[in-house]
Chain A
Amino acid sequence: MTHRNRRPRGTLTGRLVGALQDWSVPRQLRGAPGHAKAAESAMSRGLRPRLEQADRVGTSICPYCAVGCAQLIYARDGKPIAVEGDPRSPVNQGTLCPKGAATFGLMVSPGRLDRCLHRAPGATAWREVPLDWAMERIAQLAKRSRDESFVSRLPDGTRVNHTLAMASMGGATLDNEENYLIKKLFSAGLGMVFVENQARV
């Protein structure tokens, strides 16, 4: 410890000595006790858990496979800053697999889409369109396809109430409440029979 007093402040040698002294490996090789202390450095002493910056924590469930790992989403200023396994869950007890641990990366992925895109028939590129325009156009197209194809009864009088010209795929990644509205609207409302999700694939 005496060499610290001899250290000429500010010189190149001094900074080098300081850095070497701060380097944790020689300390660990000398068998310094305690994992935390032995690994400490000037930088790590200043580190704080990212989670401390959160102004909100909410409960969530992993969006990948069907094991159903519980997660905690930490957010600051309305943006996610970390996603961790929920230690209370009897399913995952705080753990997450490589996919589940990537949930934060998924939420903030540069690949996330944030605008509606439209590709006109024969076009070679997308164009951005307003959400409201897309919704109205889709409603009109759905009505047109349904009206052009709807069959109330077969020639022998058998009731069918359906359209074979519209189809839907997806659901296994969605919420129960979403699946319920999809089935209710598409099947009970519009008479679509080609309603399928990934349960078979």
Chain B
Amino acid sequence: MPSLGATFGRGAATLPQWDLANSDCVLVMGSNMAENHPIAFRFVMQAKQRGATVIHADPRFTRTSAMADIYAPLRAGSDIAFLGGIINHLLQNDLWFREFALPYTNLSTIVGEDYRGPGELGGYFSGWNAEGRRYSPESWQYDGVVVPSSLAEGYVEIEGFAEATRRLHEGPTPKDPTLQHPSCVYQILKRHFARYTPEMVEQVTGCPREVFLKVADAMARNSGRERTGAICYAVGWNHHTKGAQIIRTGAILQALLGNVGRPGAGLLALRGHTSIQGSTDIATLYDLLPGYLPQPHAFRPHHTLEDYLKVETSPTGWWNNFPKYYVSLLRAFYGAQATPENGRGHDLLPRIVGDHSQLPLTVAMANGVIKGLFVMGQNPVVGGSNSKLVQRGLAQLDWLVVRDIAETDTATFWRDGHLVRDGEMRPEDIGTEVFLMPGSLSGEKAGSFTNTHRLLQWHDKVVAGPGDSRSELWFTYHLGRRLQELYRASTREEDAPIRSLLWDYPVDEEGEPDAEAVLREINGYTWPEREQLASFNDLKSDGSTACGCWIYGGVFPQPGRNLARARKPDGPEGPGTHLGWGFAWPDNRRTLNNRASADPEGRPWSERKRLVWWDETKGEWQSPDQIDFVKTKRPDYEPDWSKRPAGMDALSGTQPFIMIPDGVAGIFVPSGLKDGPLPEHYEPTETPVRNAFHPGVEGNPPAKRWAHDLNPIAAPGDPRYPHVLTTYRLTEHHSGGTPTRIVPTTAELQPEGFCEIPTELARELGLRSTDWVVLSTPRGEIETRALVTDRLRPFRLGERRVFQLGLPWHYGWAGMATGDVANVLTAVVGDPNTGMHENKALTCALRPGRLARRGGQG
């Protein structure tokens, strides 16, 4: 979530889902919320009943569109052009919320004079290195100030980085509150988006000009002191080679409209898996340690603990506390073995050497680099891009452990997969040793999930799971225990990390570790006494505290007080923040950056949108929510620059974005994003048309690509692949399909794979619903049934008519509801910031009929 992190300081939804009911305008984009998050969509409907305008912008007309006041169709992959056009409309007509955006964003901040935008440099931002296909962010910095990134990794590859950031101690960032300076963010923004005219929006997105302007007006109308609007998005925004910048465009829009930190305002990231937020917070991700601390990198100045803390600790803002969180995490990992001699454990941690995310993992597997793979509750044969490359990789492994609730497509690739089906390999030729182990569901084990709005909710163990099924807690704990035993006698230096691991969780009579003991460690305790800490404010950088994930500090403040298990909702007359239901990170704050719900003087913007206010008598901020600010910091507080203030002392009382080094929302982002300080429209990697903004620079320049024989990419405009293909999810199925394709009810409701085909195209091809069709891309071919529909309309883009096809991606061969694997068609290409794939916009060919198969099946 680098986009929300770079703009507002934290990569997470800014508002609780129920707060959507308080919104005056809800834009759903990059999401089919009514079908994929129906329970959350109830709050959008409640808002509508209270008079809110609901807008759905999407390539497909869905049930979300049917419930919306305005439906705006747009071509898949053209979101930045659409949103950029709205930003232009707001700036040209002065429709933005000046009283909010001027003090609370970096609109007035002056950028160094070397900065140039893609409008001036033929499609590239300044700092482009064509050979390395990457940007250097030096020219994106503020005038005379280098700013650390507010993302997990604060370090930015700029010479003398750490020293250059020390300037932040000396005074505020350079500003021109009159907004006249040609290099202030406002002027740069205005020039940048001036190219996004209504004509251009129509040409690029295919959305009729009058519909687009209706959307812009609705959003502008619902902004200001009395009104707020919210944006809900899902992976329809993420899954592009410019996904982070699509979300950035939405974030800029909300910052300009004053739609963050206030009731009914913000960006709600709608995530697909029950604890996808939790698994990012406590990251089972290669580049993050728990609590958004960066995994040490071999090629960054991370060598010793001192080096690492020097470049990763922000001089100003909340991240100045960084050393407390890192040293406490090392204590939680290594216990007594975290010593001053080994850098408090820093010397024991592995270093990354590049991108080790899922796409390069897929390539590394296919190249034989990876020998052993654990798959726990994931189904990469169905969910991973370029499924045949995934399956080729699985066939190269020495061993594969699949832990799941049922026999998955991934676990049976050697028997039923495409390599065998297409006659490329026989099971006898596949040397992978495969384990398939039964896993547990919530209800069969105790633990906590973190939902899409940062809410930790505990689930109890109510029943035992079937047979030998075990939780991942059980599996990981006992695997670790066995490995520590196997390494016990080793004296090799390289085995020190596993031998040093603090691994002493209590188990019950069935050997199940106590999940609450793990949550107590995540919360944090004193070392060595192990007394629970009440909050992350108690953490220290001297090794006297241990904490597994600082942002979860406070979830288990005392023995026996597991706040994830709290179940006290507000009554009908209550404030509706529901502080007694579960625990939201950080510190049970429900709306992030909520200081911004008051004006600079500390008064609510209006009674109608009241959330946080300054109480002069008490000398502190008041709210029915927890305050996302220093509770006693006066609105008129100004840093005393003669004292070289650090951390929160360097932020004034009117700077609500405490995780950002200069305390204001980053409309222009100097550090942290790999593909530009502002969003720019680029075409998808595979596109039917040229980039109308700068023909010749079609795709996002630094997008990630991995050359592999099994991963060919269609060139822009390749006539062999004329149609746009977008993948999507169904209400009745879940992601890789395992937990719904084995359930009789959901399998019966959506029993088989299909492809949505526009009526006009079906007529041209002589297709009717339920006919067999073959879809193909340079990666492979699949067969499925046609569903002919008017929900997907053709777009006229300049002279061309472009058809879009829609393909649900849940299906595979396992379970009761089956179908060919959509991801056979998709490519391994990625967003430069997140490494996310681009399955929402690619090109394909379509023909009637079935695949020719060995064995005469058809």
Contacts and interface: CB of A to CB of B under 8 A. Distances in A.
A188 B548 CA distance: 12
B449 interface: yes
Given A67-B452, A75-B462, A191-B497, A181 B441 contact: no
B295 A187 contact: yes
A149 interface: yes
Contacts of A194: 286, 356, 361, 364, 370
A64 B736 CA distance: 11
A12 interface: no
Interface in B457-506: 457-464, 466-473, 475-480, 482-483, 486-487, 493-494, 497-498, 501, 503
Nearest to A157: B303
A152 B456 CA distance: 37
Given A69-B39, A143-B487, A181 B279 contact: no
A159 B347 contact: yes
Contacts of B428: 122, 124
Contacts of B445: 175
A169 B276 contact: no
Contacts of A197: 276, 279, 284-285, 378
In the complex, which range does the number of interface residues on chain B fall in?
35 or more
B433 A141 contact: yes
A172 B383 CA distance: 13
Contact of A111 (B407, B443, B460, B503): B407
Contact of B437 (A134, A141, A183): A134
A200 B358 contact: yes
Contacts of B403: 170
A10 to B, nearest CB: 40
B364 A99 contact: no
B39 A195 contact: no
A48 interface: no
B17 interface: yes
A152 B429 CA distance: 34
Contacts of A91: 17-18, 39-40, 451, 455
Contact of A183 (B283, B298, B450, B515): B283
Nearest to A85: B39
B463 A97 contact: no
B761 interface: no
Nearest to B569: A90
A52 interface: no
Interface in A104-149: 105-107, 109-126, 131, 134-143, 145, 148-149
A14 to B, nearest CB: 39
Contacts, number: 500
A68 interface: yes
Given A66-B274, A176-B447, A105 B746 contact: yes
A113 B39 contact: no
B429 A122 contact: yes
B743 A106 contact: yes
Interface stretch (B136-144, B265-273, B604-612): B265-273
A119 B434 contact: yes
Contact of A180 (B384, B493, B497, B522): B522
A107 B437 contact: no
Contacts of B281: 176
Contact of B406 (A66, A113, A175): A113
Given A65-B37, A66-B275, A99-B732, A109 B435 contact: no
Contact of B273 (A59, A102, A124, A173): A173
Interface stretch (B127-135, B182-190, B660-668, B829-837): B829-837
A113 B494 contact: no
B274 A63 contact: yes
A185 interface: yes
B802 interface: no
Contacts of B299: 158
Contacts of A184: 333, 501, 548
Contact of A177 (B347, B359, B518): B518
B459 A61 contact: yes
Interface residues of A, number: 118
Nearest to B273: A172
Contacts of A183: 282-284, 289-290
Which has the most chain B C-beta neighbours within 10 Å: A134, A148, A181, A192?
A181
B429 to A, nearest CB: 7
A7 to B, nearest CB: 41
A41 interface: no
Contact of A142 (B18, B290, B372, B578): B372
A175 B515 contact: yes
A183 B287 CA distance: 11
A125 B334 CA distance: 42
A157 B181 CA distance: 49
Interface in A70-105: 70-71, 73, 75, 78-80, 83, 88-92, 95-103, 105
Contacts of A11: none
Contacts of B429: 122
B770 interface: no
A16 interface: no
Contacts of A136: 482
A158 B373 contact: no
Contacts of A164: 364, 369-370
Contact of A199 (B285, B398, B515): B285
B369 to A, nearest CB: 6
A187 B361 contact: no
30 contacts: A65-B37, A65-B273, A70-B457, A78-B464, A80-B462, A90-B569, A92-B39, A102-B746, A105-B744, A107-B441, A116-B436, A117-B407, A117-B437, A118-B436, A135-B482, A138-B435, A141-B398, A142-B372, A158-B351, A165-B370, A165-B371, A166-B371, A170-B375, A172-B279, A175-B445, A176-B552, A177-B448, A186-B374, A196-B286, A200-B836
> Top 7 A-B pairs ranked by shortest CB distance?
A68-B451, A114-B467, A175-B447, A58-B462, A111-B742, A171-B284, A172-B273
Interface of A: 56-71, 73, 75, 78-80, 83, 88-92, 95-103, 105-107, 109-126, 131, 134-143, 145, 148-150, 152, 154, 158-201
Given A66-B451, A111-B816, 7 more contacts: A80-B443, A116-B468, A159-B303, A165-B369, A169-B375, A169-B376, A188-B501
